[in-house]
Amino acid sequence: MTKILTVAADDEFAAACATALPEHGDIQLVSAASVEEAIEILERQTDIECVVSDHDLPNTNGIAFLEAVRARTPTLPFILFTTEGSEMVASRAISAGVTDYLIKERHKNQWEQLATLIRNAVRYYRDQSGIVNTEERAKTLLNAANDIIAVVRDGAVAYLNETGASYIHDAQDQTSTGSVSDFLVADDTTPIDDLLAAVQSGLETLDHRGGKLMTAEGTTVPVEITATRVTWTETPAVVLILRDVSEQEDQANELRLTNQVIDEAPIGITVADATQSNKPLIYANDKFHELTGYDEGDTLGQDFQFLQGENTNPGQIAEIRDAADAEESVAVELRNYRADGTEFWNRVTIAPITNDTGEVTHYVGFQEDVTERVEYEQMLRRFQRAVEAAGHAIYITDPDGVITYANPAFERITGYDSNEIVGQNPRVLKSGEMSTTYYDRLWATISRGHVWEEEIHDQKKSGELYYAHQTIAPLTRSNGDIEAYVAIQQDITDQKEDEFQLRQYERAIEGADELIAAIDHERRYLFANEAYRDFHDLGSESLSEMTLADAIGTETYETAEPNLERALDGEAVQYRMTRTRSHRSDRVFDIRYYPLTDDTGHVEGVVATMRDLTEQVEREQHLTSLDRMLRHNIQNELNLVLGHAQMIDDQAPDEIAELSTTIEESANRILEQANKEREIVELLSDPADPTHINLAEIVDAVVDQVLGEHPDAKISVEVPTDLQMLSIPEVQRAIEELVKNAVIHSDGRSPQVRITVTKHEATVEIQVADDGPGIPPSERRVIAGDSEIDDVTHSSGMGLWLVKRIVSRIDGDIQFRERDNRGSMVTLLLPFYDT
């Protein structure tokens, strides 16, 4: 049975030892969680044959514990079991007399290997325990130690190793009866003799207590004091271990200074552990916390990505990750997010830190808030893109007026390429249209640091003149000196031409005989021309303050209001109305309302035109009266002629009676022409309003009527059944006249007529084709308007005149064409308005 002492503060490791080691041999374990507890066990249980100690112990480490054990039992096997693989730790352990050294978890069979080390060490210890002089062995081991080791009994030094002698004595005398208090002082001012007496009596131990050592040269060396009770030459004593920590103190001071510098640095600084897979942060300075808004608790343990957010560029994150994988430095600027969720631009620089062997152990990161600079640069880039994309010509000159930059719009407007205009003076654009005084005022204004804004008439490279609205602004330095001039030219040539045309329109409208005005939705005037103002007795100064009802009167307004509503709804409206004025004659007007729309098609008001039809109406009335009188007289006279012709037919001999037939036919033709003339007069004097018609229904009605009167006729029809359009009702009368004309004037026993209706994009084409003798050329030329009516050329076809007047009323047309074999084709082209 081998009894061993395991010393470990890690409960998990201690439990693993207690479980695994007995499985590999006849081993009994005694456990301790601290050095104090371990020393007490070693003093009480003298049968312990091996110590297995973790390197990481509370308030000390395994090497200091090893030195204390060596002072008590120089040959007792001591195995150091640690996670650290530093060569420095291994060297110090070997110097302190460690039996063996094993790194945790480096070997898959570490427990078996540890059990083998224990067995071999205990076997050797048992074989040598009776051979080696314990005290001499202890001195040999203690002399090899790097720390100052002394054996103290009752406050006096009984033994001092070689390291201690080098500090305290000039000679190499290792024995001394001097008092420890002669060269050692504890930092807490407690007398060192009292502390050592308490240790010697077993009341306490000293672990890593600070103190000062006075050397033979008279200097003071900071030391770390460790003391434990031992038996030396069979009497109680104290092993005093003094470790020179001056270098550590220097390092600590340097570290404190470094930490102070880092904490007070103007940029954020972090340190990440490179040995862990997620590379967690183990340090962040104050500026980092100020920059990000995260406190230390929220920062440590996070990986470098925790500042990322929705708008962080994944490509930049990949760049950082690739550099970390390659163990290289990297610097990027990316969007990060503070603890409160606000964005900021962060310039992140990450660099690897290596140990003595070249292995990357940490990454140091530097974070700098560059939001203001990045946003300024972005603003400059946006400004540059805006200038490059601007539709206005922009150029920059130096203080002497030499062009240093011109944007693409300048090239497009003036015709000068950027490379040929740079270095020139803006006078190359002078057209000669501007006076010398203009340029004198311009330079006087901008040279004083003021902005110039005027129109200019310049000349392009091609010699073509153009108008521009020009703004020139000086750019000044902080001291007020002018650094450059920026000029912006807006090409207003089209605007000037529009203004010229507008002035022409204004003069035309003002000088027009028609009454023209416009109102808005509130029925307030937008404008009214002179003829309108004169008719309504309106003054131009007060026009904008008046409503339509104020100007034309309430009674007239009530008649006009329904038509205005239709126009404001987007409909073009036409109607006639008689307007009365006091002390003047009434006037009849053709009134038309047109919706006034903006660029988006929204109706903003109504434009009204009023054409005086008084004289025309009077002429129409005279014409209608004359028509009624003539038709009445002609009908009476022709009826008398027909009556006498009938009497001749009834009473006269046969050869004379035959002449009455010719008289009757001629009289009937005159009556028919008179009836058609009445229709034409009525159409001209009282035109019908457009309405919704179905062409298929109209054509069917015409065919039914003609076949009822001429059952021998053959009429074919090709008409779309769903063809709806907006037109006047007289279209049906025009189609009826063409079909009847084709049937009546046919010289065949069974007249053939074909009606075809074709819908085009903007017109409707109605064709009536027959197999008759055709329409005489002279008749067609008169109806088509190609010949004037005189004594030689005239038209006897009043029906075709009626058709011509109907299609002309709706802005249509009539065309004639002879067919290749026999007959003719009449085509009506009517404008198509969707219903």
- Token digits for 310? 């929705």
pLDDT at 467 over 80: yes
The arithmetic mean of pLDDT across residues 343-349, rounded, is 91
The arithmetic mean of pLDDT across residues 10-38, rounded, is 85
pLDDT at 722 over 60: yes
pLDDT at 131 over 60: no
Sorted by sequence, the CB contacts under 8 Å of residue 151 that are 6+ apart come out as 71, 157, 158, 159, 230, 232, 237, 238, 239, 240
Structure-model confidence comparison of residues 167 and 257, the more confident one: 167
CB 519 within 8 A of CB 548: yes
User: Distance between CA 309 and CA 341 in Å, rounded?
Assistant: 9
pLDDT at 262 over 90: no
CB 205 within 8 A of CB 36: yes
- Token digits for 611? 């054409």
SS3 of the chain: helix, strand, coil, percent, to 5: 40, 30, 30
pLDDT at 217 over 50: yes
- What pLDDT score was predicted for residue 630? 64
The arithmetic mean of pLDDT across residues 419-430, rounded, is 92
The amino acid that residue 188 corresponds to is: D
**Which phi and psi angles does 433 have, rounded to 5°?**
-85, -15
pLDDT digits (tens, 9 = 90+) for 96-111: 788 887 877 655 677 8
How would residue 708 be classed by pLDDT, with cut points 50, 70 and 90? very high
* Residue appearing with tokens 């998990």: 12
pLDDT digits (tens, 9 = 90+) for 610-630: 998 888 777 766 666 666 666
Sorted by sequence, the CB contacts under 8 Å of residue 37 that are 6+ apart come out as 7
- What pLDDT score was predicted for residue 337? 93
Task: Check residue 24 and report its DSSP letter.
Answer: G
Task: Check residue 202 and report its DSSP letter.
Answer: T
How would residue 787 be classed by pLDDT, with cut points 50, 70 and 90? very low
* Residue appearing with tokens 């109907």: 806
- What pLDDT score was predicted for residue 645? 75
**How far, in whole angstroms, is CA 449 from its chain's centroid?**
38
Structure-model confidence comparison of residues 91 and 122, the more confident one: 122
The amino acid that residue 779 corresponds to is: E
pLDDT digits (tens, 9 = 90+) for 527-572: 888 888 888 888 877 787 888 998 888 888 998 999 999 999 999 9
Q: Which residues of 168-183 are buried (b: 16+ CB within 10 A; e: fewer)?
A: bbeeeebebeeebeeb
Tell me which residue of 275, 307, 300 sits closest to 285, measured CA to CA: 300
User: Distance between CA 254 and CA 248 in Å, rounded?
Assistant: 9
The DSSP bridge pattern shows strands 752-759 and 714-718 to be: parallel
- Token digits for 520? 């808005």
- What pLDDT score was predicted for residue 788? 47
CA distances from 648 to 655, 661, 668 (A): 11, 10, 17
- What pLDDT score was predicted for residue 171? 38
Mean pLDDT score of the chain? 83
Q: Is 129 helix (H, G, I), strand (E, B) or coil?
A: coil
Tell me which residue of 830, 832, 833, 835 sits closest to 731, measured CA to CA: 830
User: Distance between CA 329 and CA 601 in Å, rounded?
Assistant: 62
How would residue 202 be classed by pLDDT, with cut points 50, 70 and 90? confident
pLDDT at 59 over 50: yes
Q: Name, of 574-588, 593-607, 639-653, 800-814, the range with top average pLDDT.
A: 593-607
DSSP string spanning 596-639? EE-TTS-EEEEEEEEEE-HHHHHHHHHHHHHHHHHHHHHHHHHH
The amino acid that residue 376 corresponds to is: Y
CB 400 within 8 A of CB 426: no
pLDDT digits (tens, 9 = 90+) for 384-412: 777 777 778 889 999 999 999 988 889 98
Q: Which residues of 655-671 are buried (b: 16+ CB within 10 A; e: fewer)?
A: eeeeebeebbeebeeeb
- What pLDDT score was predicted for residue 667? 74
Least confident of 18-27, 227-236, 253-262, 590-599: 253-262
The amino acid that residue 53 corresponds to is: S
pLDDT digits (tens, 9 = 90+) for 354-363: 887 888 889 8
- What pLDDT score was predicted for residue 174? 45
CB 564 within 8 A of CB 556: no
CB 646 within 8 A of CB 660: yes
Give the rounded percent of residues in the chain with a pLDDT score beyond 90: 21
Q: Which residues of 732-745 are buried (b: 16+ CB within 10 A; e: fewer)?
A: bbbbbbbbbbbbeb
pLDDT at 471 over 90: yes
CA distances from 410 to 101, 306, 487, 493 (A): 82, 49, 10, 15
pLDDT at 127 over 90: no
**Which phi and psi angles does 111 have, rounded to 5°?**
-70, -35
* Residue appearing with tokens 């005037």: 525
Q: Name, of 79-88, 240-249, 256-265, 784-793, the range with top average pLDDT.
A: 240-249
pLDDT digits (tens, 9 = 90+) for 271-303: 888 888 888 998 888 888 989 999 988 889 888
- What pLDDT score was predicted for residue 683? 58
Least confident of 82-96, 130-144, 337-351, 801-815: 130-144
CB 81 within 8 A of CB 114: yes
The DSSP bridge pattern shows strands 465-476 and 452-459 to be: antiparallel
- What pLDDT score was predicted for residue 128? 66
Task: Check residue 83 and report its DSSP letter.
Answer: S
The arithmetic mean of pLDDT across residues 51-56, rounded, is 88
- What pLDDT score was predicted for residue 677? 64
Give the rounded percent of residues in the chain with a pLDDT score beyond 70: 87
H runs (alpha helix) in 169-312: 192-200, 246-263, 286-292, 296-299
User: Distance between CA 67 and CA 148 in Å, rounded?
Assistant: 10
Query: Taking the CB of residue 334, how many other CB atoms lie within 10 A of it?
Result: 20
